[in-house]
Chain A
């Protein structure tokens, strides 16, 4: 993992503080999450105190400090989804995977996140698994979609 990180860091000039978020994004893209050693390296490389790096990481919902599932489920709870019954859909996902939002299944297959609006309100209620959209969901539909990922 640390080799991968080294490779990424080569593309980022030292001390270029404004690139912190981009660097974190690329690191996470490569490693799947942001392990402690990566945060330390990045802090050193960009010359930003580790506390500040941590502050940024925890501020944005996109960053993970723990290993993340192979598939990220983003269950939309935006307004349009909400009025069309997205809570029941979220419940179905939770029941099916036995995890709550923010958690990852033990086999590291699925992580569940709640998002507000995926910008596909016409599909409401909607969820995304990695980059694939699933729309007009019902509890039953959720079950069969999740099955296809197992």
Chain B
């Protein structure tokens, strides 16, 4: 049918609406565009067949629509009028959906959106956090209508805006309205749309052209694709209105070659418009003529630049030319041309219908309306979102996007594609608008947002963009052609460990000149990815340059294996797991001992950062590396390492992990090492800090005995400053390594904390570990703190028969620094953790009877991106108790140590972190003493580096850091298939017995379990090592 007048169109709309209201009741809207890759068409097909089979055609409409936005959960569908949303639907689910949901109104929980954190189900679209925050103008019909049906577009007020301008507005009035709306171009630069139209209208040449830039080439942007695929008419209506406003009768849509569905749907849409009379001559008898053509791109990113795009439409090489003249003056075929992008045009019809005032009331003053963003990368809810301008990045990424997948740490968000920049965590509360983003060195661009996490290397990301840009540089101007290539080469060098510090200066210089002298936007902005990553993540560049390592574990040349690179002492996990696979446990132990002086300890109490980086974790769960190490240490044969002690004498102060590790590596180099320990036992915190249910005393003794057998002498009860003076030691020993740790507790500094019944966590643990009797039977214990010490203290209290144990922490569960595993175990043991609470005063006459506390809430974000806890006024209350244990933190005990003043600053000893040298020749230090309370394995790493430096020092070499080249050698090349079983759970003591005993909780792997678990290792370093 042909619509010959405005009345025709309105009548047609009424007919369609009436027919629709009378007929079908339930509509199933299935995304048939983006969701295709996950089998949406199969789901659609099954629905159509089932509906036909069950003769439900009159009751149920199956509609194929465009993108619903929540692409991460593809294939998705919505059911009206129930307002339901189902995700990850497969053809098998279809009969159930029809029988239960469509016919009986029952919700199928399996298909419902669930919050990953709380597990809560959200069956209704209106409640789903992803949709709740959104405001859809551009995407108003996406996912609602069938994009191939012009009728459905018309039913939803489609082409009403066109009628309005054709019948009641002068072209100038249309331009005025768009100007007043504050709409700015959505393609990237943000030029005011109305003003651009005015320029074109006022340009003299004839004819004039309208062009839609649908060459969405920014990697990471897919909003235009979604609009073209899901609601092509919204764009075309905008183009018609623009044509009327500027006086054009011919238009082109330039679409990327990579978007076949978009081209297909556009062709259908344009075809229908011609047939129905919305394109062609004398449209709706208003005297307005307009013809529209599709031009398919042929694969060139630079064609997104407007002058290059025009050249391409004209059939030429798509190279840009200098502006001015701007296309508004001399554009397509040398005539005045208006170019806007897809999203800009899609905004026009609503502005005309609802008015400029309405539109400009949305968003911020300088950036009106909404913006569509494509969320991708390491975010949970990848997909399309449309939000009012001015919303914060945090709300987009964390509230709508659901946060970072796999609970990784957010690093930065890259906005605006290759011309854009990245924004780090500290600016997450930045409002998203054109100006704010540029103020931080990024741009709005077309709206792509790539979220990166701790596993993304920023140097690699910059290199990626430069590789892209040098590839896509059209070659017309020299600065861009050569400059992008050179910048890429430098970045490539850095990621291969061959970079120097001078390269950074060179990058800055090149960036400046390429920016100043390139012909078009591609070249002018090509250095942005480098400049912005350098701005926020220079330390990552320096790490590549100085240490020849990639902290994120991405740069191929700089990694051995993720587990090994992450381990502070570079334990070769894949190496020893390889031996377990072959049943050679003794061989495995030998591999461990090459790098690790305390395998039995680490197999139990290490916080295993290796497992966090394990590649297996990307498939299901990481390999249980820590427990495999424990297995090796428990089952392997400890062959004494042969050492010849022929060199100088070295003194080590403190027998904790730092000191033991330093001694271990020094004796292997031939030095005579004596350790001085103030406590009556050796092991430092390992002995008096960690409770024996986590690290049994005999196990610790085993590791230390091995070190002693190698010739290390340990003097107990020798406190420096008391029994021995430091200057005496320096006479006898050629070098000194200080590793006294942090054994002095910090107090809360509140009134009453000296009362009887108050003890510090570190004192408490020390007493218990040294066998002092403490009876907490029937007592109520309050523990203050949120770290591992607080958890240990609480669990020990429980084992000392306390009646009730509560941990009070001033922040929330997400901020708690204690290890997740331990928190879980504590909760299992019925220890109560109270969050957002802080102590004010300890109450009681002589003895404690309670603590006056105050509730806390989270305030503003600080520089580190953490929210500060602030007290809630008037929420003071008293928590009754018999014992208070303060476990907030600890510092080194310098008392009596009489250290030279120049090396102590505050509560730390100052060293060069790479070599552990202090400012006094011959004195080295490491562990908690230089770091503050830290981990076992970090202390061990310090000890090892100290040993390397002491060796250099005593041999008269310059003590400087040289990155260690890790050797990778294996006996065999593995070509095994990946096994599919899950991580083996370790057996633990039963809850009942464990909560009242100091017996070790974990049982450790059996031979069979260890073998099965070892086979889960992907041996992901296999392409890198050489076969012996």
Q: Please tell me if B374 contacts chain A, counting CB pairs below 8 Å.
A: yes
B356-369: contact bitstring with A at CB < 8 Å (1 yes, 0 no)?
00000000000000
Question: In the bound complex, what is the Cα–Cα distance between A11 and B980 (angstroms)?
Answer: 57
On whether the beta carbons of B220 and A60 are closer than 8 Å, the reply is no
**From B216, which residue of chain A is reached at the shortest CB distance?**
A119
B38, CB-defined interface residue at 8 Å: yes
A-B contact count (CB 8 A): 136
By the criterion CB–CB under 8 Å, are B316 and A56 in contact? yes
Please name all residues of chain B whose beta carbon is closer than 8 Å to the beta carbon of A134 when the two chains form the complex.
37
> A55-B317, A79-B417, A140-B978 given as contacts; is B219 within 8 A of A117 (CB)?
yes
Q: CB-CB contacts of A77-91 with B at 8 A, as 1s and 0s?
A: 111111110000000
A25 touches B296 (CB 8 A): yes
| In the complex, chain A residues whose CB is within 8 Å of the CB of B301 | 116
Residue A118 interfacial (CB < 8 Å): yes
* Chain A proximity mask over B247-289: 1 for CB below 8 Å, otherwise 0: 0000000001111100000000000000000000000000000
Instruction: Please report the C-alpha to C-alpha distance between residue A20 and residue B318 in the assembled complex, in whole angstroms.
Output: 13
CB <8 Å contact, A25 and B450: no
Is A148 at the interface (CB under 8 A from chain B)? no
Distance between B1019 CB and nearest chain A CB, rounded to angstroms: 13
- Taking CB atoms, residues of chain A closer than 8 Å to B319 are 59
Decide: A120 near B472, CB < 8 A? Known: A60-B300, A61-B300: no
Whether the Cβ atoms of B468 and A21 lie closer than 8 Å is no
Given known contacts A79-B417, A117-B221, A122-B383, A18 and B315 CB-to-CB distance under 8 angstroms = yes
The chain B residue with its CB closest to the CB of A80 is B376
Count of residues in A whose CB is under 8 Å from the partner chain: 43
* A93 in the interface (beta carbon within 8 A): no
Judge if B36 is at the interface, Cβ distance under 8 Å.
yes
Answer yes or no: B586 CB below 8 A from chain A CBs.
no
B464 within 8 A of partner (CB): yes
A123 at the interface (CB under 8 A from B): yes
A59 to B319, CA, bound (A): 9
Question: Measured between alpha carbons, how far is A132 from B319 in the docked complex, in Å?
Answer: 31
Q: Which residues of A in the span 36-84 have a Cβ within 8 Å of any Cβ on B?
A: 52, 55-56, 59-63, 74, 77-84
- Which residues of B sit under 8 angstroms from A133, Cβ to Cβ? 36-37
Contacts A17-B315, A83-B452, A131-B260 known; A62 to B220 CB distance under 8 Å?
A: no
Query: Given A25-B296, A83-B450, A121-B374, is A62 in contact with B257 using a C-beta cutoff of 8 Å?
Result: yes
For A24, the chain B residues whose CB sits under 8 A away are 298
In the complex formed, the residue of B with least CB distance to A133 is: B37
Report yes or no: B74 in contact with A122, Cβ–Cβ below 8 A: yes
C-alpha gap A84/B259 in the complex (Å): 22
Chain A residues contacting B74 (CB-CB under 8 Å) are 122-123
Residues of chain A lying within 8 A (CB to CB) of residue B452: 83
- Could you tell me the distance in whole angstroms from the C-beta of B346 to the nearest C-beta in chain A? 16
Shortest Cβ distance from residue A39 to the other chain B in the assembled complex, whole angstroms: 14
Scan residues 111-150 of chain A and give those whose CB is less than 8 A from a CB of chain B.
115-124, 126, 131-135, 138, 140
By a CB distance below 8 angstroms, the chain B residues around A121 are 220, 222, 374, 376-377, 382, 448, 450
C-alpha gap A83/B297 in the complex (Å) = 27
Q: Which residues of B contact A79 (CB under 8 A)?
A: 219-220, 376-377, 414, 417, 448, 450, 461, 464-465
CB of A122 within 8 A of CB of B216, answer no
A2 at interface (Cβ–Cβ under 8 A)?
no
Interface residues in B216-242 (C-beta closer than 8 Å to A): 216-222, 225
Q: Are B417 and A59 touching (Cβ within 8 A)?
A: no
A19 at the interface (CB under 8 A from B): yes
Mark B311-331 against chain A: 1 for CB-CB distance below 8 A, else 0.
011111111000000000000
Interface assignment of B628: CB less than 8 Å from any CB of chain A: no
Q: Give the complex CA separation of A134 and B39 in angstroms.
A: 10
Report the Cα distance A132→B260, complex, angstroms. Answer: 10
Q: How far is the CA of A140 from the CA of B618 in the complex (A)?
A: 14
B299 contacts A by Cβ under 8 Å = yes
Per the 8 Å Cβ criterion, residues 21-50 of B in contact with A are: 34, 36-38
Interface centre among A20, A80, A133, A135 (most CB of B within 10 A): A80
A–B pairs, 22, beta carbons within 8 Å: A21-B312, A22-B315, A24-B298, A56-B317, A60-B298, A60-B299, A60-B318, A74-B258, A77-B219, A79-B219, A79-B377, A80-B450, A82-B461, A83-B461, A115-B299, A116-B471, A117-B219, A121-B376, A121-B450, A122-B74, A124-B376, A126-B37
